[in-house]
């Protein structure tokens, strides 16, 4: 997602008592385990939170308890991986799983399970090991849905008689249903290295897509936002939950109507953008952005993080999955 002034994933919306935020996201797939192979946007004065204020907690589980629960869910999933326990692996993924990987593309539930089964079979005589990199796990609530886990992990396997290890990045959207946590969206990346060359075709495409989206936002052009979002949009936000295309567009419509003439602006944080390919699907873009509006003649700003999945289909690029967090 990204940040917008309302609930939509790339945009962030705040008001004095009910700060809404919108930003972008993603998911994990078997490649994640790469071993070897406002209601209406109110007309209140404050659109964006001041960076010196603290956001209210919307999730029903205290943050410390939530992090403990997600750490346990993470442990269950990867203990199963380390033991090559396919049955438990199956149970830890949601039936509607989407697993995005910068080497393997998008895998749904059955493809993901088949990939794990093949991986376990190839390594049944040797050990597989995944461990979290200490200090890298971050957990954010997804109101009314579950939680976002972000971090880095180290995978090891034996190849040519020697242990081969590497560190990768991941983002997991966990959904809680009937007291059970399952990974529903997974993004596994940094297997091929991030694209940093501003002259690289993929990098330029990501920045062009980002610019078109936020030019529409900065100019309060609803038709431009409609054109940028995929019909199957999923917008995850840490203090607002999950919204679809219609809900996201309606939020922007209300926001623009309530803030006609009010200068609102989003800027990318210089040097924060990372770009990765999602083969057969599109582009993963991660980064930080700053939202600013004028209040009582003074600029008020907030800086947040986002994860965007851009999907290329039928020759057109659309933002299909976005995660906005750190509100």
**Structure confidence by residue, pLDDT tens digits, 93-137:** 999 999 999 999 999 999 999 999 999 999 988 889 999 999 999
Q: Is residue 86 packed enough to be buried (19+ CB in 10 Å), middle (13-18) or exposed (0-12)?
A: middle
Residue 9 included in any domain: no
**Model confidence at 50: pLDDT above 90:** no
Residue 15 included in any domain: no
Torsion of Cα atoms, 80 then 85 then 87 then 92, to 10°: 20
Tokens 């700003």 belong to: 301
**Do residues 142 and 250 share a domain?**
no
Domain that holds residue 254: 38-53+198-325
What average pLDDT does this structure show over 308-316? 97
Residue 285 included in any domain: yes
**Do residues 182 and 205 share a domain?**
no
Predicted pLDDT at 84: 97
Residue 185 included in any domain: yes
Residue 20 included in any domain: no
The residue among 143, 163, 189 that closes a domain is: 189
- Beta-carbon count within 10 A of 220 CB: 19
Torsion of Cα atoms, 205 then 207 then 249 then 52, to 10°: 160
Q: 188 Cβ partners below 8 Å, 6+ apart?
A: 28, 29, 31, 32, 33, 34, 99, 100, 101, 102, 168, 169, 170
Predicted pLDDT at 48: 35
Structure tokens at 213: 């989206």
Q: What is the mean pLDDT of the chain?
A: 83
Q: Is residue 44 packed enough to be buried (19+ CB in 10 Å), middle (13-18) or exposed (0-12)?
A: middle
State the pairing for strand pair 93-101/146-159.
unpaired
What average pLDDT does this structure show over 138-166? 93
**Do residues 179 and 220 share a domain?**
no
Cβ atoms of 183 and 174 within 8 Å: the answer is: yes
The residue among 133, 163, 189 that closes a domain is: 189
Q: For the chain, what is the domain count?
A: 2
Cα–Cα separations (whole angstroms), residue 1 to 25, 75, 102, 304: 4, 26, 17, 11
**Do residues 178 and 219 share a domain?**
no
**Do residues 255 and 203 share a domain?**
yes
The residue among 155, 189, 223 that closes a domain is: 189
What average pLDDT does this structure show over 319-324? 98
Which CATH number belongs to the domain containing residue 244 in this structure? 3.10.450.50
Reported confidence tier of residue 257, pLDDT bands at 50, 70, 90: confident
Residue 314 included in any domain: yes
Cβ atoms of 281 and 311 within 8 Å: the answer is: yes
**Do residues 210 and 298 share a domain?**
yes
**Do residues 316 and 206 share a domain?**
yes
Predicted pLDDT at 195: 66
Cα–Cα separations (whole angstroms), residue 29 to 2, 18, 124, 170: 22, 35, 20, 9
Predicted pLDDT at 197: 63
Predicted pLDDT at 130: 97
Q: How confident is the model over 24-44, as pLDDT tens digits?
A: 333 333 444 444 333 333 332
Q: Measured between alpha carbons, how far is 102 from 39 in angstroms, rounded to an integer?
A: 36
**Do residues 102 and 126 share a domain?**
yes
Residue 310 included in any domain: yes
**Do residues 136 and 211 share a domain?**
no
**Do residues 72 and 137 share a domain?**
yes
Residue 23 included in any domain: no
Q: How confident is the model over 168-177, as pLDDT tens digits?
A: 999 999 999 9
Q: How confident is the model over 215-239, as pLDDT tens digits?
A: 999 999 999 999 999 999 999 999 8
**Do residues 46 and 70 share a domain?**
no
What average pLDDT does this structure show over 170-191? 96
Q: Is residue 309 packed enough to be buried (19+ CB in 10 Å), middle (13-18) or exposed (0-12)?
A: buried
**Do residues 321 and 245 share a domain?**
yes
């Amino acid at each position: 997602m990204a940040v917008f002034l309302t609930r939509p994933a790339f945009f962030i919306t705040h008001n004095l008592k009910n700060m809404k935020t919108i930003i972008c996201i993603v998911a994990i797939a078997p490649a994640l385990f790469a071993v070897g192979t406002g209601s209406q946007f109110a007309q209140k004065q404050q659109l964006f939170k001041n960076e010196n204020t603290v956001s209210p907690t919307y999730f029903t589980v205290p943050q410390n308890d939530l992090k403990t629960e997600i750490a346990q869910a993470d442990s269950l999933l990867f203990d199963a991986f380390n033991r090559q326990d396919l049955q438990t692996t199956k149970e830890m993924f949601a039936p509607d799983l989407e697993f995005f990987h910068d080497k393997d593309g998008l895998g749904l539930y059955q493809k993901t399970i088949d990939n794990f089964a093949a991986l376990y079979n190839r390594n049944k005589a040797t050990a597989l090991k995944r461990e979290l990199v200490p200090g890298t796990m971050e957990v954010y609530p997804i109101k009314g849905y579950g939680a976002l886990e972000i971090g880095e992990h180290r995978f090891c396997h034996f190849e040519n008689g020697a242990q081969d290890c590497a560190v990768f990045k991941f983002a997991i959207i966990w959904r809680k249903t009937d007291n059970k946590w399952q990974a529903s969206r997974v993004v596994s990346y940094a297997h091929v290295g991030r694209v940093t060359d501003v002259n690289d075709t993929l990098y330029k495409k990501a920045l062009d897509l980002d610019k078109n989206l936020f030019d529409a936002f900065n100019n309060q052009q609803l038709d431009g936002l409609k054109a940028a979002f995929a019909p199957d949009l999923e917008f995850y936000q840490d203090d607002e939950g999950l919204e679809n295309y219609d809900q996201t567009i309606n939020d922007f419509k209300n926001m623009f109507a309530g803030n006609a003439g009010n200068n609102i602006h989003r800027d990318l944080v210089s040097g924060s953008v990372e770009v990765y390919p999602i083969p057969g699907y599109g582009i993963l873009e991660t980064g930080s952005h700053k939202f600013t509006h004028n209040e009582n003649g003074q600029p008020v700003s907030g800086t947040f993080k986002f994860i965007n999945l851009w999907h290329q289909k039928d020759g057109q690029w659309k933002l299909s999955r976005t995660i906005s967090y750190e509100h």
